[in-house]
Amino acid sequence: MGGQSRHAALQRMAMTSSLQKPLEIRALAGARAFPPLILVMFHFSEGHGYRHFWPLDYLAARGYLWVEFFFCLSGFILTHVYGPRLGALWTGTGYRGFLKARLTRLYPLHLFMIAVVAAMILITRGFAAAGDYHSIFDLKYHQDVSLKGLLLSLAMMQGWGFMDRLTWNGVAWFVGVEWAMCLIFPLLLMLAKGGVARGFALIAAGLALLLTLDLLSPNGLDITYDFGLLRGLADFSVGVGMAVLYRAWKPRDTLPTFAHSLIQLAVAGALVYAIYNTGWTHTRRDIYTAVPMLALVLALAFDRGILADALKTRLPQRLGEWSYAIYIGQTFGLLIIRVFAQRLYPPDATPVLGTSFGALIWWLEPLCLVIFCTVWGAFLATYVEHPAARWLKRRLDPQRIPAAS
């Protein structure tokens, strides 16, 4: 009898141990810091013109490709955290708990930004009606703000191919695709079961799909409302496969720190070379930039090396905490600039501080936008995203399966 009790206790201890949340990989947390700001510059430059300063323009022009990095990172982190819970995810309770945990992460800020866009629509149209001019939402080039787009956005399905343009908070197409990846995640995790060979197979399949999209798309990998699901699936699968390799290799990692540094510098060097030496963007050459971006996830995952150590410092870690809020909240800053340009800016030739307003605003505008989006993202993360997530966790009780970062 005592032996049976002891055996049952050991089983419970093993189960509890397997359900403990893996340690955070701080280098990957810091790696989320700067891509959202590059994406801010991309969206600004596409709407308001590039600055004719090639180091900045080439970096900004490839901003949309950092989405590949984030989808891959998401697949990696979810597999890293939930990999031991495959059996639980295939139960109704476990699957619902997982989805609730992901909703607490994605939905509050997504919903808040829909409300922000709705408020801007009402306010700008009210002023436009009073002043007898057109609101920015009624000009020729603007995001869709239809009822269909609103309903799809509320359901996080706006990036599933049901729209012919970006809608409401346009950048949130990413959230819709991320949610779709969460819905099918247990299936991908099951496909990953089987060791290193499965990891390589998933990486190969993801890269093959990404390359196919790149070759068939007229805009390279700038795919959002149309084939965003396939784009996300390709990158996410690569991340899942990399997590499988990481799980197998990490316990046997005997490489010295300088070797990890060399690997990270080689991947970063390949990325910089691709950004500045493969021509302009939105072409089939996008794949040359996307591949080292994806490889960066695995290169940093071991949390050692010169780049990993740099990303574990205070500034990247704090920006990494705000990264989702910076990304999803940037639309507010971009819309404010459109309102200012329409109604408040003086003529470009107006003298200001010894130069013209047009020359001054040419550099001041993007600089102020990046600062604003950082501060706005910090506010959203501190006072909306994190408090709302804590409140939802208490309300939904996601079966004690922790939400991944």
The secondary structure element, H or E, covering residue 299 is helix 286-301
In a domain, 405, yes or no: no
Tokens of 48: 């308001």
In a domain, 12, yes or no: no
Question: What's the average model confidence in pLDDT over 190-212?
Answer: 95
> Model's pTM, two decimal places?
0.90
In a domain, 17, yes or no: no
pLDDT tens per residue across span 106-140? 999 999 999 999 999 999 999 999 999 999 998 87
Rg over alpha carbons for the chain, rounded to the nearest Å, is 23
Residue reference for tokens 């901003």 = 63
In a domain, 207, yes or no: yes
pLDDT tens per residue across span 314-358? 999 999 999 999 999 999 999 999 999 988 999 999 998 889 999
Q: What is the pLDDT of residue 374?
A: 97
Number of separate domains in the chain: 1
pLDDT tens per residue across span 219-238? 999 999 999 999 999 999 99
Residue reference for tokens 């890269």 = 207
Which residues are paired to 355 by β-bridges? 352
pLDDT band (50, 70, 90) for residue 24? confident
b vs e for 169-181, b when ≥16 Cβ sit within 10 Å of the residue's Cβ? bbbbbbbbbbbbb
Supply the range of the domain harboring residue 257. Answer: 24-396
Residue 111, judged by CB atoms within 10 A of its CB (0-12, 13-18, 19+), counts as: middle
pLDDT tens per residue across span 25-49? 999 999 999 999 999 999 999 989 9
Chain-centre distance for alpha carbon 189: 20
In a domain, 68, yes or no: yes
Q: What is the pLDDT of residue 397?
A: 65
Name the 3-class secondary structure at 223.
Answer: coil
Tokens of 94: 């476990």
In a domain, 99, yes or no: yes
Residue among 141, 157, 140, 150 nearest 118 (CA): 150
